[in-house]
Structures are given as C-alpha cells and as structure tokens.
Chain A
C-alpha cells in the first residue's frame, strides 16, 4: 500500500539543527518532496530528491535518503523562529497515476528563542 509517515512534533532551540524524519512504503522509483505550511497558508515547496540520490543540499536545508530503509530526512541548519511551521513529506511514484502526491500528516516544528 501507499503510505507516508512522519513524527508529529519536534521542538528545538533557535540556532540548533532540526531533523525531521519521514518513511515511505512505495518501492517504485519516486520523487520525494518537502513542503512547509505556515498557519492559515498553503504549502510552500522547499526541496525535492529523486530516489537514485543519497543526499541533496540547498543552503540551510539538507535532504538525506536511505532508499534501502525507505527513510527520508530533512535537516535545517541554524534553525530560526521563522522556521516554525508544519513540514510535510510527500512522495510521487512514477509507476502510479500521473496526478497525485501522497502526503504524510506533517511534523509541527516549534522553535524556541
């Protein structure tokens, strides 16, 4: 079946690194995405990785992929209060329908000053 799971909450202090984890079940080649949602707003695409990659870095964001364990993580370096939001992991399996992304339930990141 298709499923994306995330831990629901993460609390860090300003300036620390945050690591948000995600597991997925679809074994077909896939794209994996991280979205950020602030209160009352839509989803902002942060970064993505294809399943034949191990790592991708984009400024303060580092995505690590363990394809064997189907585990994805998003590391935010030097976390700021403005990073407080809900972070969604989403996957797109190329063998599945063309349309939809499958989202996790989201991880609420709280950054304490």
Chain B
C-alpha cells in the first residue's frame, strides 16, 4: 500500500497563470477529497468525489477552481488565473464510503503529503 500521493510537491507560479495538481488515492478507496491549508490554520474542505461523481463543493471553491476525477481513480485540481491569495498547501485525502465490504463505517480519511503552491 503506497498511500495517497500528490504531484507536484511544490509549485511556484506567477499571478495569472494556471496550475494543475494531481492526486492518486489509496487504490481501494472510492472517495477522494481536496482540502486547502493556509499557514497557521487547519485544513479547509474544498470538494469531494465518490467514484467519478463530484458530490459536494464548498463555497471556498470559486469559479477559478475546477476538480475532476474522470475514471474514478486519480483526481486533478486546476486553478485558473491564480491570485496571491491562492498560496496555500493543497491536501488530498481518500477513504472508503460507509457500508463498503472493506469497512469504512468511520469516515476515516487518509491524507497525502500535499502540494505547496506559492503565487508570486
């Protein structure tokens, strides 16, 4: 089990550029979550998928943000026209959904190492 992986680990971009991050969840996990964490804060929920369906988006997810999980495995998070306020750590997590044969009644989410975005 390789855990949740994210790529890249660090990204520096200029204001106005587009960036895309990738997350590969734990292989048997059908739920995938994106969070944002700024300095001195806990993670804040952005969106989550069950298989390929995006089931929820928070109000933090502005129109410049889009997430996809086309085949129900890896996911991408794209930020268009980046702003300095987008600088943060972007965390991905995965879990099984409740009631699946492998368990998962506890909503346990396992996090990746994060992608640190710096917008200059």
CA distance A14 to B111 in the complex (A): 28
A contacts with B: majority SS:
strand
Interface contact tally, CB-CB below 8 A? 61
The yes or no answer to B58 lying at the interface (CB within 8 A) is: yes
The yes or no answer to A100 lying at the interface (CB within 8 A) is: yes
Report the contact-size class of chain A (Cβ under 8 Å from the partner): 20 to 34
The yes or no answer to B101 lying at the interface (CB within 8 A) is: no
Query: Which of A4, A40, A41, A99 meets B45, CB within 8 Å?
Result: A99
Q: Is the pair A99, B106 in contact by a Cβ cutoff of 8 Å? A: no
Q: Is the pair A90, B42 in contact by a Cβ cutoff of 8 Å? A: yes
Number of B residues contacting the other chain (C-beta, 8 Å)?
A: 27
Per-position binary interface string of chain B over residues 82-104, scored 1 when its CB falls under 8 Å from any chain A CB and 0 otherwise: 00000000010100000000000
- Could you say which residues of chain A place their CB within 8 Å of the CB of B42? 4, 88, 90, 103-106
Q: List chain B positions with a Cβ less than 8 A from chain A.
A: 4, 6, 33, 40-45, 47-48, 50, 55-56, 58, 91, 93, 106-114, 116
